[in-house]
A = this chain, B = another copy of it.
């Protein structure tokens, strides 16, 4: 469903959402925390900062933070910079123009199942995916290391 890229973006944002929002997290820390390529994630985070989802700071002590709190950031804001829902997705058969008045044979049935998917991304907040317990891999928080003690 999601491309690898926007999957990284979503996981990165969830990762940031679990950190105290007032201190930036290095891109490399997010990358190792998620177990994804650091250089690639940097670019993803940069895109997210251009979109205003995260805020970046350079220099020592810099890094990335969520711009808005998790309960005010939608999944769509995170994902759409990479996988936009274009009108083509709304037609199962890939027709550019497939409205309600001149639909393809699949139009109505497809909308019925696919609209909720779009709504899911537009209406679900990052905070709703945080569920404190349980998630081993994605919730892996920064532990002890050099950072944090040094400032």
Contact = CB atoms under 8 A, between A and B. Distances in A.
Interface of A: 1-2, 4, 7, 10-11, 14, 89, 92-95, 102-106, 109-110, 113-114, 116-117, 119-120, 124, 128-131, 134-139
9 contacts: A4-B94, A7-B94, A10-B92, A11-B93, A103-B135, A105-B138, A105-B139, A109-B124, A109-B129
Nearest to A129: B105
Most buried by B among A89, A92, A110: A92
Contacts of A11: 93-94
Identical chains bound together, number:
2
Nearest to A131: B105
A113 B116 contact: yes
A130 B106 CA distance: 8
A139 B95 CA distance: 13
A101 to B, nearest CB: 10
Nearest to A7: B94
A120 to B, nearest CB: 5
